[in-house]
Amino acid sequence: MPDSPSFSRSNPLERRTFLRAAGGGAAGLAFSLGLPTPASAATPRALGYPFTQGVASGDPLEDAVVLWTRIAPDPLQPNGGLPHGARVKVEWQIAEDPRFRRPVRGGHVVTSPDTSHTVHVDVRGLRPGRRYWYRFRAAGHLSETGSTTTMPPAHSMRPLKFAVASCQNYRAGYFQTMRDVVEQNAELMLFVGDYIYEYPVQQLAVGRPIPADLPAEVIPTTTTLDQYRLRYALYKTDPDLLAAHREIPWILTWDDHEISNDYESWATPDLDRRAAAYRAYWEFMPIRWPRPPRGADARLYRRFRHGALAQFDVLDTRQYRDPMVSGTVVDAGPRRDPSLVMLGDEQESWFRAGLGRTPARWNIVPQQILMARLNTAADPEAPAVFSAGTWDGYQASQQRLFDTVSRSLDRRTVRNFVVLSGDVHCGYVSDIHADTLDPGSKVIGAEFTSLSISSAQDFNPAANEARQIRRTVNPSLKWADLHCGYALCDLNAHELRVDFRAVDKVSVHDDPVFTAASFTVQDRVPGVSPA
């Protein structure tokens, strides 16, 4: 018989939670391990519909998934519109059918103002490769029903359809391509950064109309914990984003705008601001942290397996990197400094030790920034120049990672290597070459950089045509495009197919989504081919 069959009878032995209390200041923002107890619940008697921020799931394993929601009857008000000091008892339930006739787990947690009344439930004991449905209840209100999926068993070669997305700027446009992710029947979202933007929520000449009644506290540049919380709360009012969270599990990593543009290059790090941003991210995302965040330090890199088909090594290329080199980045300049570190020693060792340790047909690396070599010179006859903020700006770290991949391919512990990136508001498709200083060296993998959800704004044909010079300068670059959208990936034992789903106008909510281009990577054939 299943445990905890209904909301009417919760089973505390099956409860799985990770709520963390927190203090203030860069050091004080470290997360303690203390959990609110059911006895501390003080649910307001008259509570409006509390699930305005939707429901979500993430970080699926073979036997586990994280469920998320937030109690916020008025999400754009401080404390989500709850009375000061309120704690709310929230029941949760997960089942094998959408009508909850076959429940398998359930329990309850108590929210806290210390964590913005967000709820994270790490549900264990699930079956591999199964679809589940889940819901929450609080103060007599029932949430929408969400659906999620666990990873298949270790031996499985079951195909996977997943999306890759990044760079969703609320003021720049609508998120209609998020709903397309659901309509295309994706089973998993890989979000590779810039979930929010820290800039003021002001009306742009081309963008989404900003509501006139938006509370003043939501508008400023985010620098404090309360401001970051309100920014996430604003984004989680978007119905298309909520639909994508509700219907499929997400695996996320961050980029820079979850804190501030290029924050890793601040001359004097603002640790209080970084700690506030990290904490708000932890509160509002459906993620399972490898270890609890501690102030301005939060390990986010982690690994997932989709049976024997794919291993996903999710990287953090922001938190541990050295400051970027300044000025024009030429080929033989400071970018080659061997002391410049991108991943940090611990993460680099983790990646090197885990790549190929357990065989997978496809080794896939979701991460934030361009990894393949990309000469950004505007003239084919001019000397090569590079972006300081991409892997090219950290050439020694870039080469060490490519050397790790090359050795693994030679030893046959890695069979196919693919990188999934974001950050640049442009879709790029590139071959990855073994030698970062030699564009003609052997191809060891492929990189697909997602279109932005909205940050590139409405499509500009003239700007897009000008961007094509990069294809002339870089023979390894197969495609470059400035539409908004995302990458839809179909993966099986023999092939990875990537369709770039795009819109012309993110300023128009019902502008249709279409396939802008399609590419494939064949098993044991490194590099990209047109579909």
Residue 289 pLDDT? 81
The verdict on 126 and 263 lying in the same domain is: no
The verdict on 106 and 142 lying in the same domain is: yes
The verdict on 144 and 166 lying in the same domain is: no
The verdict on 114 and 185 lying in the same domain is: no
Residue 50 lies in a domain: yes
Tally Cβ neighbours within 10 Å of residue 450: 32
The verdict on 136 and 168 lying in the same domain is: no
| Cβ–Cβ < 8 Å for 46, 294 | no
| Cβ–Cβ < 8 Å for 243, 495 | no
> 7 pLDDT band (50/70/90 cuts)?
very low
Residue 424 lies in a domain: yes
The verdict on 293 and 350 lying in the same domain is: yes
> 42 pLDDT band (50/70/90 cuts)?
low
Q: Could you report the per-residue pLDDT of 363-413, keeping only the tens digit for each?
A: 999 999 999 999 999 998 999 999 999 999 999 999 999 999 999 999 999
* Spatial separation of the C-alpha atoms in residues 305 and 212, rounded to whole Å: 45
The verdict on 196 and 135 lying in the same domain is: no
Half-sphere exposure in the Cβ direction for 361 (13 Å, CA): 21
Average pLDDT estimate for 174-193 = 98
Residue 517 DSSP SS3: strand
Tally Cβ neighbours within 10 Å of residue 472: 12
User: What CATH number is attached to the domain comprising 83?
Assistant: 2.60.40.380
Domain boundary among 100, 126, 150: 150
| Cβ–Cβ < 8 Å for 192, 422 | yes
The verdict on 181 and 80 lying in the same domain is: no
Looking at the 3D structure of the chain, how many domains does it have? Answer: 2
Domain boundary among 150, 180, 202: 150
Q: What is the 3-state secondary structure (H, E, C) of 269-286?
A: CCHHHHHHHHHHHHHHCC
The verdict on 171 and 276 lying in the same domain is: yes
Residue 12 lies in a domain: no
* Spatial separation of the C-alpha atoms in residues 264 and 512, rounded to whole Å: 37
Residue 416 lies in a domain: yes
Residue 19 lies in a domain: no
The verdict on 364 and 393 lying in the same domain is: yes
| For residue 429, pLDDT beyond 60 | yes
Domain that residue 407 falls in = 153-530
The verdict on 144 and 277 lying in the same domain is: no
Exposure string of 488-521, with b = 16+ CB inside 10 Å and e = fewer, is bbbbbeebbebbbbbbbbbbebebebeebbebbb
The verdict on 52 and 183 lying in the same domain is: no
Residue 413 lies in a domain: yes
Q: What is the pTM of this model?
A: 0.93
Domain boundary among 113, 131, 150: 150
| For residue 39, pLDDT beyond 70 | no
User: What CATH number is attached to the domain comprising 460?
Assistant: 3.60.21.70
Q: Could you report the per-residue pLDDT of 299-353, keeping only the tens digit for each?
A: 999 999 999 999 999 999 999 999 999 989 999 999 999 999 999 999 999 999 9
Residue 48 lies in a domain: yes
Residue 34 lies in a domain: no
> Residue 284 contacts by C-beta under 8 Å, 6 or more apart in sequence?
70, 116, 118, 229, 232, 233, 236
Residue 12 pLDDT? 27
| Cβ–Cβ < 8 Å for 192, 318 | no
